[in-house]
Copies of this chain bind each other. A is one copy, B any other.
Amino acid sequence: MTIVVTGAAGFIGRALVAALLERRPGAEVLAADQSPIEVSGARAVIGNIAYPQFARALIDRRVDTVFHLASLVSGGAEQNFELGGKVNLDATRDLLEACRLAGHCPRFVFTSSIAVYGGALPDPVTDDTPAAPRISYGVQKLVCELLINDYTRRGYVDGRPLRLPTVMVRPGSANTAVSGWASAIVREPLAGRNYTCPVRPDTRMACLSLRRTVEALLHGAQLDGERLGWDRTVLLTGIPVAANEMWRAVQRHAGGRALGKLRFEPDPVVQAVIDTVPRATRSQRAASLGFAHNADFEEIVLEYLETLT
């Protein structure tokens, strides 16, 4: 039995592959990415997901579950529209088509995003909030959700799209996400580096720790599909944390570390984008399906500190 992970060299992908190797010891884990992946135990496949042949070559009838994580995230897809279309739309469709043509209805876990929300948003965003994306990345994610629902209804895949909040704490090599500052507030000072935060101190963000995210992906893959109903998408709960609360939590848990300094210098462009994204998400549906969220931001900081030692 094979489990495919796309975007396997990414922030979430690496942690997911490691968890799969531990939890599903009998399975072959196929770790696909354009960057080299060094995980002993997984079979690394290097290629560009935007190249249709590559996407299709990942799927055959031995594939039990696809975790499709590969994305060009918010800022990147906004800046490079063509590449965003290739990676975020075409690659998903190529994978879905490969699954359909393989004919065995594999499970298809997809990392959607709270970027599907936009405009005047309720606080928190809930299961009842309509998706209304205002950035290309959000449009592309929503389109994939719709296609996965249709492929699922037709019995081509067994889809499980999850709308992820901001996943914390990203390591140094930042991707193109507009939410990058949230991770940096924790990561940079703890590494002894000064950081200038481009948003106001009271700016809140819907947060989920990396470990909880990986647990959600694994849980999403294991769930009985019938429980999801016709709309397979599940919004995950992201707890609201303000930038200055993040910073205080870091200070509380710094221990003996010499912290870098934090300065707030709001960038109007970044602030304007961030002000349009959900500040918190609360999903009754996720809770009733057994998805867990973080208790508080302390938990997120402590989880990150563990990875540093």
Q: Kindly supply a per-residue 1/0 record for chain A positions 257-296, scoring 1 wherever the CB is within 8 Å of any chain B CB and 0 otherwise.
A: 0000000000000000000000000000000000000000
Roughly how many angstroms separate A176 CA and B147 CA in the complex, as a whole number?
A: 22
Contact B154 A149 (CB under 8 A): no
Q: Please tell me which stretch of A3-11, A130-138, A188-196, A212-220 contacts chain B, meaning at least 4 of its Cβ atoms lie within 8 angstroms of it.
A: A130-138
Contact-residue size bin, chain A (C-beta under 8 Å from the other chain): 10 to 19
Contacts of A130 in B (CB 8 A): 130
Question: Which residues on B sit within 8 Å (CB–CB) of A146?
Answer: 133, 139, 142-143
Most buried by B among A119, A149, A150: A150
Tell yes or no: A231 within 8 A of B by CB: yes
A153 contacts chain B at the CB level, 8 A cutoff: yes
Does chain B have a CB within 8 A of A81? yes
Q: How many copies does the complex hold?
A: 2
Tell whether, in the assembled complex, residue B133 and residue A139 are in contact, meaning their CB atoms are under 8 Å apart: no
Interface assignment of A51: CB less than 8 Å from any CB of chain B: no
Assembly CA distance A146 to B137 (angstroms)? 12
| A139 lies within 8 A of B132 (CB) | no
Nearest B-chain residue to A156, judged by Cβ: B81
Question: Which residues of B sit under 8 angstroms from A139, Cβ to Cβ?
Answer: 146-147, 149-150
Interface secondary structure of A, over-half rule: helix
From A133, A136, A143, A231, residue with most partner B Cβ within 10 Å: A143
- What's the minimum C-beta distance from A133 to chain B, rounded to whole angstroms? 7
B132 and A231 contact, CB distance less than 8 A:
yes
From known contacts A133-B146, A134-B230, A146-B143, infer whether A154 and B119 are also in contact, taking CB-CB under 8 Å.
no
* A165–B149 CA distance with the chains assembled, in angstroms: 23
Contact between chains at A143 and B154 (CB < 8 Å): no
Nearest chain B CB to A223 CB, angstrom units: 21
Contact of A134 among B81, B100, B133, B153 (CB under 8 A): B153
A187 to B134, CA, bound (A): 44
Nearest CB in chain B: distance from A140 CB, A = 8
**What distance in Å separates the Cβ of A191 from its nearest Cβ neighbour in chain B?**
37
- Bound together, the chains give a CA A230 to CA B276 distance in angstroms of 14
CA distance A231 to B120 in the complex (A): 13
Please list the residues of chain A having a beta carbon within 8 angstroms of any beta carbon in chain B: 81, 100, 119, 130, 132-134, 136, 139, 142-143, 146-147, 149-150, 153-154, 230-231
Closest 4 CB pairs of A and B: A139-B150, A143-B143, A139-B146, A136-B150
Q: What would be 19 A-B contacts, judged by CB atoms less than 8 Å apart?
A: A81-B100, A81-B154, A119-B230, A130-B130, A132-B231, A133-B146, A133-B150, A134-B153, A134-B230, A136-B150, A136-B154, A139-B146, A139-B147, A139-B149, A139-B150, A142-B146, A143-B143, A143-B146, A143-B147
Known A81-B100, A143-B143, A143-B146; further 16 A-B contacts with Cβ < 8 A: A81-B154, A119-B230, A130-B130, A132-B231, A133-B146, A133-B150, A134-B153, A134-B230, A136-B150, A136-B154, A139-B146, A139-B147, A139-B149, A139-B150, A142-B146, A143-B147
